Amino acid sequence: MSDLLPFLRLYRQHWLSLSLGLLLALVTLIAGMGLLSLSGWFLSAAAVAGMAVASRDTFNYMTPAGGVRFFSILRTAGRWGERVVSHDATFRVLTRLRVWFWQTLSPLSTATLAGFRQADLLNRLVADIDAMDHVYLRLLTPIATAVLGCGAMVIFLSLFDSRLALTLGTILLVGLISVPLVFYFLGRRPGQQLIATKANLRTQMVDYLDGQAELQMFAAAPNALGDLQQAEQALLGAQARMAKVSGLASFSMQLLSGWTLTLMLWLAGHGVAGAAPDPITALMVFATLASFEALMPLAGSFQHLSTSLTSARRLNEILQEAKAPEWGTEQAHASKGSLQIDDLYFGYPGNPQPVLRGCTLQLHAGEKLALLGQTGCGKSTLMGLLTREWSPQAGKIQLDGKPLTDYSEGALRASISVVSQRVHLFSASLRDNLKLAAPNASDAQLVEVLTRVGLTTLLEDETGLDAWLGDGGRPLSGGERRRIGIARALLHDAPLWLLDEPTEGLDSQTEREIMALLFILGADRSLLLISHRLQGLEQMDRIALMEEGQIRLCAPHQALMADDYYRSLYQRLAPT
């Protein structure tokens, strides 16, 4: 239960609406008990009164009938109000929980999240948090209403016969203790399997859909589909096992209710409080039946408790194990964009071989430097260290003469603009996607930037900046998406641009256009271009050759042409 404590604390922020929902649930329960008990007595009393002429004329039909109507209306209104209030409060709690979890997750670096797959993180953010609604709707509320409702019923029956009230109270107390324990243990394993198989199926589904190109290319789609179907069958099996527990719970509660009803009928059949059998006997029987309305939800609530505990445990795995990077206190961002990288060593967790082995590189203010190397030499790893997604094991990185670790997160983000080959576009308008880089930018500024990057065609449509880009910007070409990435960099207006293979996957013509655009728009900025292609490198101030985590050579293009390796590489890969 300790796994639920971090999430239960969030409930305190909505204690008023949650308490109101609990109160309405209790009112609804008591109204239901009163309706059934009063109806049983009223029908019996009316039948007895109708057997004699004298009592038939003097029997008060109106007051009990009014009471039945009152309890009926109160139960209906209470049920409606409880559903509205409790579900609204639960959704607000889940909203706050999801926001809180995202705020905790978003500052974490790639290093801290390396052990979690993205599809699994999405599943935890969505499905596991949704499962937390059971805590209030199926755990806290049923327990509280069951205890208070059963207690109220026992007190009410004690006004007529303490012996019958004690008998029913004992049975209800045993039920309140045993039913949750029994069905928690019966539902624990199926509940854990249900969460695990659901997470596995969703993760495999995301991987299957996301990797369609690779699966089709290597003819692996049938095997992947087979694994997906196996995961689906595992989920169906877990759901079937949970359904069996639900059926057993319903059967057990009905059986316990029937036995108790039979016992109370036998005891009350000899008279209530020593009196001859009368309509009060029917009241006792119907009150017994009504009291199990409070006990019924407990079996299901504790049956699903393991799902909430498993979901809470999965969320805590991230919150407890993942730690945000430690940021410095320097609030002023860099103004020149110079970089000094000295003797940098870095290796990924679990990999005994370091990726960077004494990497040393200097980028002067306003300089255009290309970092060239084959795939796997450590270029992207260096990019991750510059943006502090990872932290080096040895060596240091300085930005404008200050250690990178001295900058606060806001100052570092304001000092660097990253343009990569994967420009993520959200399912939102063109304006919203641009304002990610500059939230306070005006429409005139956005139009100006789009004009500078050659995207005026996007403004020709009547929707203009309100044009809907869709999921991932599907209506746009690869070149247009890269240009939006450059537009964001211009809006961000940082002195240092880090370009991580911004033309990868583009055709030669588009690649030349993008590179020319980068040189023009980044003329007054420090620019570090990471690439394994040679398009536009003649225009760079210097080119650094990277091999096996080290800088082998660093010089202008013409000077590097004297090196056999670079010359052969250029002759082989130079654009025509």
Residue 202 lies in a domain: yes
The answer on pLDDT for 16 being more than 80 is yes
Cβ atoms of 391 and 348 closer than 8 Å: no
For residues 76 and 35, give the distance between their C-alpha atoms in angstroms, rounded to a whole number.
11
Choose from 104-108, 291-295, 296-300 the range with maximum mean pLDDT: 291-295
Task: Indicate whether 350 and 310 sit together in one domain.
Answer: no
Q: Which of 321, 347, 372 is the last residue of a domain?
A: 321
Read off the pLDDT band of 290 (50, 70, 90).
confident
DSSP string, 440-476: T--HHHHHHHHHHTT-GGGGSSTTGGG-B--GGGTTS
Check residue 73 and give its pLDDT: 92
User: By the 8 A CB rule, do 34 and 1 touch?
Assistant: no
Q: What is the CATH number of the domain that holds 313?
A: 1.20.1560.10
Pair 248, 375 in one domain: no
Q: Are residues 270 and 367 in the same domain?
A: no
The H or E element that residue 402 is part of is strand 402-403
What is the Cα gyration radius of the chain? 35
Q: CB-based contacts of 525: which residues, under 8 Å, 6+ apart?
A: 337, 366, 494, 495, 496, 497
- Two structure tokens written together for 567: 């010359």
**Do 355 and 404 share a domain, yes or no?**
yes
Is residue 65, in this structure, part of any structural domain at all?
yes
Question: Do residues 516 and 568 both lie within one domain?
Answer: yes
Q: What angle do CA 262, 266, 270 make, to 5 degrees?
A: 160
* Edge-to-edge strands, sheet with 550-555: 416-420, 496-500, 526-531, 368-372, 542-547, 550-555
Beta bridge partners of 498: 418, 528
Domain assignment of residue 376, yes or no:
yes
For the segment 459-518, what is each residue's pLDDT rounded down to a tens digit?
877 778 888 887 777 778 777 888 888 888 888 888 898 888 777 766 777 777 777 777
Concatenate the DSSP letters of all residues of 506-531 into one string: --HHHHHHHHHHHHHHTTTSEEEEEE
Given pLDDT bands bounded at 50, 70 and 90, which one contains residue 114? low
Whether 291 contacts 168, CB under 8 Å: yes
The highest-confidence range among 107-111, 126-130, 221-225, by mean pLDDT, is 221-225
Residue 145: pLDDT over 80: yes
Structural domain includes residue 173? yes
Residue with tokens 């993205």, as numbered in its chain: 118
Residue with more model confidence, 35 or 5: 35
Q: Which residue type sits at 432? A: D
- Decide: helix, strand or coil at residue 271: coil
Please tell me which residue, 97 or 167, carries the higher pLDDT value.
167
Contact between 394 and 387 under an 8 Å Cβ cutoff? The reply is: no
Query: What is the separation of C-alpha 18 from the centre of its chain, rounded to a whole number of angstroms?
Result: 22
325 pLDDT more than 80: no
- How much is the pLDDT for 574? 61
Q: Which of 64, 101, 521, 478 is nearest to 314 (CA)?
A: 101
- DSSP code, position 3: G
The verdict on 164 and 99 lying in the same domain is: yes
The residue among 321, 347, 370 that closes a domain is 321
User: Are 273 and 361 members of one domain?
Assistant: no
Contact 197, 234 (CB under 8 A): yes
Specify if 409 maps to a domain.
yes
How many Cα neighbours within 13 Å face the side chain of 14? 22
Q: What is the mean pLDDT of residues 113-131?
A: 75
Q: Determine the pLDDT at residue 322.
A: 64
Are 214 and 278 contained in the same domain? yes
Please state, in angstroms and rounded to a whole number, the distance separating the CA atoms of residues 479 and 551.
Answer: 31
- Say how many domains are in the chain: 2
- How far apart are alpha carbons 215 and 219 in whole angstroms? 6
In a domain, 332, yes or no: no
Residue 95, φ and ψ in degrees, nearest 5: -60, -45
| 181 in the same domain as 62 | yes
The average pLDDT across 113-127 equals 74
Q: How does residue 572 score in pLDDT terms, banded at 50, 70 and 90?
A: low
Cβ-based neighbour number of residue 58 at 10 Å: 9
pLDDT tens across 346-400, in order?
Answer: 888 777 788 888 889 899 988 888 888 777 788 888 888 888 888 888 889 999 8
Structure tokens belonging to residue 97 = 């929980």
Q: What is the mean pLDDT of residues 255-269?
A: 87
Does a structural domain hold residue 329? no
Q: How many residues does the chain have?
A: 576
Q: How far apart are CA 487 and CA 417, in angstroms?
A: 11
Nearest 5°: the CA angle 188, 192, 197 is: 150
Residues 316 and 412 in one domain: no
Element (H, E) at 481: helix 478-492
Asked whether residue 416 is domain-assigned, the answer is yes
If asked whether residues 75 and 168 sit together in one domain, one would say yes
In terms of Cβ atoms closer than 10 Å to its own Cβ (0-12, 13-18, 19+), residue 511 is: buried
The closest of 100, 78, 80 to 13, measured between CA atoms, is 100
In the predicted model, what is the mean pLDDT of the chain?
Answer: 82
Nearest to 371 by CA among 568, 572, 540: 540
Between vectors from CA 167 to CA 161 and to CA 171, what angle results, nearest 5°?
145
CB 425 within 8 A of CB 469: yes
User: What is the torsional sign of CA 306, 307, 312, 313?
Assistant: positive
Helix (H), strand (E) at residue 75: helix 62-105
Instruction: Specify whether 310 is located in the same domain as 347.
Output: no
Q: Rounded to an integer, what distance in angstroms lies between the CA atom of residue 366 and that of residue 363?
A: 8
Q: How far apart are CA 177 and CA 71, in angstroms?
A: 29
Nearest to 514 by CA among 455, 434, 573, 447: 455
Q: How far apart are the first and last CA of the chain?
A: 67
Q: Kindly report which listed range (100-104, 227-231, 322-326) carries the lowest average pLDDT score.
A: 322-326
- C-alpha–C-alpha distance, residues 134 and 143, integer Å: 12
CATH assignment of the domain containing 550: 3.40.50.300
Distance, in Å, from the CA atom of 145 to the CA atom of 72, rounded to the nearest integer, reads 19
Domain that holds residue 539: 339-573
CA 500, distance to chain mean position in Å, is: 29
pLDDT score for 128: 79
Q: Cα(288)–Cα(262) distance, rounded to whole angstroms?
A: 10
Name the domain boundary from 321, 355, 384.
Answer: 321
